[in-house]
């Protein structure tokens, strides 16, 4: 229970960066991650008198961030045409410079083009280190759906990144 604003302020300062990091790893967009984090604290503040947190408040807030991120991505579905444009540009650019060390960045760009559910499951698994069971609980899905969506994510990422992937592999094999 949040008893007073001093406690709330301490919580804000203690948790803001941590929660922002989670949101940023999922959304890959600073402004959006900041909005989501603000939103989670605003809700916590609005419900401070009725809210009872069973385990740790950190875990509670992290779950709230994940859910808010997911809702944010769902709402953003409409902006897909914009994303596609970015993606095309990205491909032109990558065709010129195929460097294996750039791959993580390219993957992150490609992750941003995944459908919301697929994207959040992939991020929670790979970037947040959540187990399939934890993801399933968080998003109220079956474990099998989580596995399937992770598989989907990899297939879709591979389709997007195919030119870079084979390039990177060739490069590695020339040096070894």
Partner 1 sequence: MEESLKILLIRYLQKTATPAELEELTAWRNKGNNETTFQEIIQLWKTSSPSKEVKVDIQKSWERFNALNQPAKNLYIRPVFLRIAALLIIGFGSLYLFFSQYDSSQNDLTTITTTNEKKEIQLADGTQVWLAPNSTLSFKNQFDNNLRVVTLSGQAFFEVAKNENVPFQIIAHQSQINVLGTSFNVNSNHARTEVTVATGKVAFSPASSTNLILLNPGERGTLDYVSGELHKELDTDINFQSWLTGHFIFKNTPLHQVIEQLNTYYQIPIQIESKNNECLLTSVFNNQSQEEILEELELALGITYAKDSSRIIITSSKCAAP
> What is the nearest approach in angstroms of partner 1 to the Cβ of residue 85?
20
Q: By the criterion CB under 8 A, which residues form the site for partner 1?
A: 1, 3-5, 8-9, 12-13, 16-17, 20-21, 24-25, 28, 30, 33-34, 37-38, 41-42, 45-47, 49-52, 54, 103-105, 107-108, 111, 122-123, 126-127, 132, 144, 147-148, 150-152, 154-155, 157-158, 161-162, 165-166, 168-169
Nearer to partner 1, 76 or 148 (CB): 148
Q: What is the DSSP letter of 102?
A: G
- Helix, strand, coil tally for the chain in percent (to 5): 80, 0, 20
Contact 143, 132 (CB under 8 A): yes
Kindly list the distances between the CA atom of residue 12 and the CA atoms of 82, 113, 124, in Å, as whole numbers in the listed order: 34, 32, 23
Nearer to partner 1, 50 or 81 (CB): 50
Nearer to partner 1, 1 or 81 (CB): 1
Nearer to partner 1, 81 or 141 (CB): 141
> What is the nearest approach in angstroms of partner 1 to the Cβ of residue 92?
21
> What is the nearest approach in angstroms of partner 1 to the Cβ of residue 129?
10
Nearer to partner 1, 81 or 118 (CB): 118
How far apart (Å, rounded) are the C-alpha atoms in residues 174 and 98?
A: 14
> What is the nearest approach in angstroms of partner 1 to the Cβ of residue 143?
10
> What is the nearest approach in angstroms of partner 1 to the Cβ of residue 124?
11
Contact 51, 2 (CB under 8 A): yes
Write b or e for each residue in 95-111: b if 16 or more Cβ atoms lie within 10 A of its Cβ, otherwise e. Answer: eeebeeeebeebbebbb
Which run of H or of E encompasses 34?
helix 30-46
């Amino acid at each position: 229970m949040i008893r007073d604003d001093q406690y709330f302020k301490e919580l804000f300062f203690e948790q803001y960066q941590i929660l922002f990091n989670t949101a940023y790893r999922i959304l890959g967009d600073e402004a959006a991650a900041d909005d989501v984090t603000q939103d989670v604290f605003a809700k916590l503040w609005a419900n401070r008198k009725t809210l009872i947190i069973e385990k740790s408040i950190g875990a509670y807030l992290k779950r709230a961030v994940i859910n808010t991120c997911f809702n944010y991505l769902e709402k953003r579905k409409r902006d897909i045409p914009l994303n596609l444009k970015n993606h095309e540009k990205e491909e032109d650019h990558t065709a010129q410079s195929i460097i294996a060390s750039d791959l993580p960045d390219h993957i992150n760009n490609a992750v941003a083009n995944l459908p919301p559910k697929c994207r959040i499951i992939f991020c929670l698994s790979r970037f947040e280190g959540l187990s399939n069971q934890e993801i399933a609980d968080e998003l109220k899905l079956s474990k099998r759906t989580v596995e399937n969506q992770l598989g989907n994510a990899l297939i879709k990422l591979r389709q997007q990144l195919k030119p870079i992937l084979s390039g990177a592999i060739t490069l590695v094999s020339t040096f070894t």
